[in-house]
Chain A
Amino acid sequence: MNSKTAHFLLYRISCLILAALLSMTATAEENPEESGEQGAEESSNLSEEIEDLKKSALQLNRDLLILEEELLFPDNTQLTLFLSVDIGNYFRLDSVKVKVDDEIVASHLYTERQNFALSKGGIQRLYVGNVKKGEHELTAFFTGIGPDNREYKRGATMTLDKDEDAKMIEIRVYDNKAKMQPDFDFKEWEL
């Protein structure tokens, strides 16, 4: 009696121990976890199919974006505004508001994640629109947390001369190490 029970239980223990050990592969940052082999081949075919789909969708998306830009924002009227933050040690952006000739064209509230993306070198496409040829005044207002964790508000202005070519303006927030303050300016890009 007891020998049968003990044998059965030992068998079960062995299974349990093995399961415990084999399922415990640890994950260190980029190290892999255990992977199942069930239906791996089917899965792989499906994955390849999905990858093909994604590739086609990406190409179509690219073509549609180009078409959209041509349709809605022809070069002779196009104005695109970008926003970047260089490091951001002295300023954490909470919001930005942009005016073209006294008309608000863009405003944005920043999440922590968006701030992180900006601090990592990401550039936000803030506005794409149309303006007439000639001179325009561009004004950006920034609010956020400045040095010593104090609330910080600043504005910056530039005059842009719209011509036949598409206009790309980068609104830059950057650390002025000498002043230990944030600084704000505009950079016009030629593409």
Chain B
Amino acid sequence: MYLAAAYSRASAIIKPIRRQLALSVLVLASASAIEAREKPLTSVADLRYGAALYNYYLDDYLSAMSELLIADEQGGIDGHGENPKIMEGGLAAGYGMERYASDIFERLLDQNRSQSVRDSAWYFLAKLRYQHEDWARAAEALDKVGKKPEKKLAEDINALRMNILLKQDKPAEAAEYLKKNRFAERWLPYFHFNIGTAFARKRQFADAIDYFDFLAQDIYQGEEYRTLYDKAMTASGYAYLFEQRYDEAKAQFSRVRLNSKLSNRALLGYGWAAAELEQYQEALKPWLHLTRSSVEDENHQEAMIAVPYAYEKMGELGLALNHYQKAEASFSEEIQKIDQVLISLQNDDLLDALQLQSEGDIDWLSFARDQQLSPRLTYLVQLFSRNDFQGSVVEFRDLLALRTHLNEWQTRLTFYSEMIAARELDRTEKSEFLKVSALTERIAAMQQQRSDYAKEIERIASEKDFFSLAAGDEIDLISRVSRSGDTIEKLRESDPFIDEYEESNRRYRGLLLWDANEKFGERLWQAIKTLNKLDDTITELSDVKKRINALMLGAPDLDRYRGQVDSANTQLESMLARIEEAISNNEGELKAQVIAVLYEQRRRLSNYLAQSRLSVARIYDLTNQERENAEFQRIKDQAQVKQPDDTIAEGESEIETETETEAEEH
């Protein structure tokens, strides 16, 4: 039961704290956008802004940031004022790039911005400084926020200021601040508890009790607040213990729910309060219950030696001895188990064992079911809850994700490289085709022909060679008339009617000439028009050739792409090497933290073991001494009854001296 609770707690707390900052930035950015434009939350004026938001809500910071960076590169996002920049700052913070985020917020303060943008920027700067544990500068940044920030921002500012005061160990000032300022109702129990804790750290237990007891004034429904209530009552009980108000301590411990994660600690405290009142029988009840719980629970370990202590105080030395021996055996066994775990963690890949490489939240519960070493992970729950450990885990996962992403780019670049090579080949083939098709030569030949045609037309026009432009049947008729003329010349001497034929032929020729003359003007114009069309065709062909040449000369683009791909490949290789190194360093750091915690637990168990053994020895000595005293008394009584003389008196003195020496040595 306890294990399950411990694992689920670890699972819950492993979520990155930094995401909360990104979220608050986005909420504020969205809120200010709404106010400024009075449009619904989902109305966006730029697709990339929306795409970045989408990726952010899917926890894909890399894609979200890339969208904004591309938008920046391509001229920025319109219509959202400073929100894209605020969003980029928030995303950067969420992605663990706090210096980058700080730079953005500081730039937002450099120039003339609206008060609300400046307020947001100062708040986020304060938050980032707070995360870097720079409390003083965080407070300074908050001081720069305007007098009337927006309501949501004002609440966040108050909460942050309160946390800064607590981190600065100023519980009194924090208490005063709590009185004078307004906070969201849901935060009040937390602030009271944290102020109580801060007072307790300063050993001002009476003050601490006041704040812890604030939580007892209400009835809480949600599990989150019920758990906080249990914590407060447990802490209050211990504070009463320190104040030596044992009855009140018992009362506070009794308010903790038995099924709470804090119940074992409260049971232990209840036992101590009862023991302080010398009500050992009552103290034994919770302690004996605890000895039946899981051995990994430190409350169980404490109870293992508290139970015999109570028996000892009640004079039940036999029972005390028995329980000390049980504790000794239990601690020895647990130390051996921890040793085995340490060996297995050092031999195996620790990160495999802790499932840190898996995506999503770590499911410790299912891990506990599958792994032999899992019960010992209970010792690590405190470590898992620490911000720095969580930060390292998130960074480690970011690095793994980056490595995967960049490896994917390498594969894609190989493909693009091949694609560019294919395009280059295609261009080469086209170039070859141009050579084979001799387009240039063909155009030159056409130009020559055009020139010849032009000269011929010029000649026809100047000589008025009507028949040269004849067309269709007319050519045939002209040819026939011409042939007839030749035949007439051949028959002139032999044919008596030759003159008639000649006259007819002359008349036909005259008709044809007349007709050709009539059409000559139009035909010459058509010939010139055709020549002009030929010019157009030649020009068009020349253009095609130019375009193809231009395409061919597009090769430098491919060269540029090839250059970019090659350069990116080099960068990828170098970056992957750096990432491998960072992963290794990060892994080493995580491993060191985990092993240190296990060693600390081992050291604590060793102390318990030593204490148990000493107590066993002490009880043996006590019983031996009592037995020897009884034996001595018996001998003394016998001697007094039989013969009380000087020799016996001397012997008695020797025995007594010896017994005292032994006791002292023990």
Contacts and interface: CB of A to CB of B under 8 A. Distances in A.
A9 B313 CA distance: 12
Contact of A60 (B30, B65, B235, B572): B572
A55 interface: yes
B41 A121 contact: yes
B50 A82 contact: yes
A59 B389 CA distance: 28
Nearest to B55: A122
A71 B50 contact: no
Contact of A48 (B13, B99, B130, B163): B99
A165 interface: no
User: Taking each of A49, A63, A64, which has the highest tally of chain B beta carbons within 10 Å of its own beta carbon?
Assistant: A64
B191 interface: yes
B96 A121 contact: no
A30 B582 contact: no
Contacts of A53: 399, 402, 575, 578-579, 582
A21 B382 contact: no
Contact of B191 (A28, A30, A48, A86): A28
Given A53-B575, A64-B568, A82-B47, A13 B272 contact: yes
B564 A67 contact: yes
A49 to B, nearest CB: 6
B65 A58 contact: yes
Contact of B66 (A13, A31, A47, A62): A62
A119 interface: yes
A35 B395 CA distance: 16
A180 B561 CA distance: 52
B529 interface: no
Interface residues of A, number: 76
B412 to A, nearest CB: 7
B238 interface: yes
B308 to A, nearest CB: 10
B589 interface: yes
A49 B386 contact: no
Contacts of B364: none
A2 B480 CA distance: 153
B141 to A, nearest CB: 16
Interface in A67-93: 67-68, 70-71, 82, 84-87
B582 A66 contact: no
A25 B395 contact: no
Given A58-B66, A84-B50, A121-B41, A64 B409 contact: yes
Given A121-B42, A122-B50, A50 B586 contact: yes
Contacts of A58: 62, 65-66, 69
B310 to A, nearest CB: 10
B447 interface: no
A46 B561 contact: no
A189 B47 contact: yes
Interface in A7-30: 8-9, 12-13, 16-17, 20-30
B501 interface: no
25 contacts: A8-B611, A16-B302, A20-B234, A20-B238, A20-B265, A30-B156, A48-B99, A49-B585, A54-B97, A56-B575, A57-B406, A58-B69, A60-B568, A60-B571, A62-B73, A67-B568, A68-B416, A84-B44, A85-B42, A113-B57, A118-B54, A120-B42, A121-B50, A122-B54, A123-B51
10 A-B pairs with least C-beta separation: A123-B50, A122-B54, A28-B190, A117-B57, A35-B387, A121-B42, A62-B69, A17-B238, A122-B53, A21-B200
